[in-house]
Structure 1
Amino acid sequence: MSDMSDWYLQQEYGVRFEWGAGGAERVAGGVGCLVVVDVLSFSTSVNVAVEAGTRVHPYAWRDETASVFARDNAAELAVGRRAVTAASPWSLSPAALRRAPFTPRLVLPSPNGSAIAAAAGGSTVVAGCLRNASAVGRWLALHGHGTLERPLAVIAAGERWPDGSLRPGLEDLMGAGAVIAALQAAGGAGPLSPRGGGRPDRFHRDPRRGRCRGRVFLRSGTGPERLRRRRGDRGRGGREYDRARAHRRRLQRGHPHLRQPPRRRCPHGPGHLMPPD
């Protein structure tokens, strides 16, 4: 008789779904690929930075150890949004990263996205968001992820309550749905866990609904929080759909950074790049 905890591992499914670092730790051992979806911060910031040619090193904590890690990797350190200065213009904000000067390496501390990446163990890690959902779905299908032979897990990051517990985020649910829907459209998903079964329906692919999606974001828990903190970008980078030029945002095994794929023209659509084999 199997242990009751095995029920939550979703081992009968090629595409699995969980929330937060705790969920990632639970399912990571049984999958070869983890898709981290932290739409308004980590994943979209990674996409913007890597698209510009920057190697991103995820780091789970923003403390003195992050500075040491950045120095050891000859990288700049992203600071808190309110700590941005002319000397340290990089932060966990897609808008700030667009304005910041180019840096070849960047340490990106994040209590959500980076913490999930750290929980992945030896699995390949892909940073997925609305901005690169279709490209990520195609890349996953191209490399055979999302089947019983090569299962993957989509992890919606969510946010944290003041006591540190998980606060699910609507924007990450939508982002996870967009990635899973793109994987299904590419013919690479199955079977799909019931925990993730309704996620594609949470995202509407009609681009005319972009304004509606923006209103949903701004009315969700995280949207008003960002406005109160005067972050300024109003989550616009996170709300962009299919704007990415690069397919893959992957944490290399044995080499902890997210890398830009070679710039080969992708036959699936203009402006996208083919990931390396």
Structure 2
Amino acid sequence: MTPVQDGYAVRFEWGVTGGAAIAADADCALVVDILSFTTTVGVAVEHGTAVIPYPSLGEAAETVAAEHGASLAGPRGLGLSLSPMSLREADPAPARLVLPSPNGATVATALAGTTTVAAASVRNARAVASWASGHGLTIAVVAAGERWPDGTLRPCIEDLWGAGAVLAALEDLDLDLSPEAAAAADAYRVVAGRLGGHLAACTSGAELVRQGFEADVSIAAESNTSGVVPVLGPDGFVAATL
């Protein structure tokens, strides 16, 4: 049976398939990929950059960037990239950026034809929850997850925590969470006071630290430092009018 979590105002699932199952009749979908797509989108939009999501690097992404008159993010460590620090330090910030991501961007673009999509992270969890609570009666929170080498979905702890931060904020607004959503909210609450250390130690975070991107992990752990809600529209992710 498809796990649509009917009867609950707030639902939670993983990846493109799970997202489609819970967002088909939802008023909005909040996509979470904190290491690092949605964190980077948030930082970029804060600095006035419209972010166009794309699933992968390559010639097709170059074509999309050219069509939009946009900069193209490259591999992490080489200028603008999935590194949120690269967007925080950009001077000047690009007006438009094509941001390839096999996880967060893929989920966001897949859901864009179904419902209104926003980029959520630990940094803007309360702001996104407040926006979503005023945007409709049914909210889908979708953790992007990572990929195993064979291409299958790898549910990852950092996106469970990131989604949980948003779900906890929605629960604080007295919205009715599905059991799946409530479990994710509880998972976040357990680590909320020590999230930075946990993010740096988890599989994805430790990999970034080993590669020299500890600052990106630290940015992802910033709790409710942003009031910006990036919403996906024809021009990419731009700040919602609150």
* TM-score, normalisation: structure 2: 0.93
Deviations 1:220-274 (A, max 9, x none): 111111123333425011010011132x21112xx15111245xxxxxxxxxxxx
Match of 2:155 among 145, 156, 168: 168
Residue aligning to 2:56: 61
Q: How does 1:255-274 map to 2 (within 5 A)?
A: 255-261=234-240
Q: Tell me whether 1:96 sits opposite 2:86 in the alignment.
A: yes
Separation (CA, whole Å) in 2 of partners of 1:18 and 1:47? 21
Answer whether contact 2:145 2:156 (CA < 8 A) is retained.
yes
Deviations 1:146-180 (A, max 9, x none): xxxx3121011111111111111111111111111
Q: Percent identity?
A: 42
Residue aligning to 1:116: 107
Q: How does 1:50-89 map to 2 (within 5 A)?
A: 50-82=45-77, 84=78, 89=79
2:98 alignment partner, SS class? strand
Match of 1:184 among 158, 171, 191: 171
Q: How does 1:105-254 map to 2 (within 5 A)?
A: 105-120=96-111, 121-143=113-135, 145=136, 150-187=137-174, 189-190=175-176, 192-204=177-189, 209=193, 212-233=194-215, 235-246=217-228, 248-252=229-233
User: CA RMSD, aligned part only?
Assistant: 1.8
Separation (CA, whole Å) in 2 of partners of 1:206 and 1:162? 28
Give, in angstroms, the shift of residue 135 of structure 1: 0.7
Answer whether contact 1:141 1:183 (CA < 8 A) is retained.
yes
The amino acid of 2:85's aligned partner reads A
1:163 alignment partner, SS class? coil
2:52 alignment partner, SS class? strand
1:235 alignment partner, SS class? helix
Deviations 1:115-174 (A, max 9, x none): 00111123110111000001111111223x3xxxx3121011111111111111111111
For structure 1, the 5+ residue unaligned runs are: 263-274
Give, in angstroms, the shift of residue 199 of structure 1: 1.5
Structure 1 residues 206, 168: CA separation in 2 closer, same or farther (over 3 Å shift)? closer
* TM-score, normalisation: structure 1: 0.81
Answer whether contact 1:155 1:176 (CA < 8 A) is retained.
yes
1:251 alignment partner, SS class? strand
Q: How does 1:17-36 map to 2 (within 5 A)?
A: 17-36=12-31
Answer whether contact 1:37 1:175 (CA < 8 A) is retained.
yes
Which structure would you say has the larger RCO, counting Cα contacts within 8 Å and 6 or more residues apart?
A: 2
For structure 2, the 5+ residue unaligned runs are: none
Separation (CA, whole Å) in 1 of partners of 2:81 and 2:167? 28
Larger Rg: 1
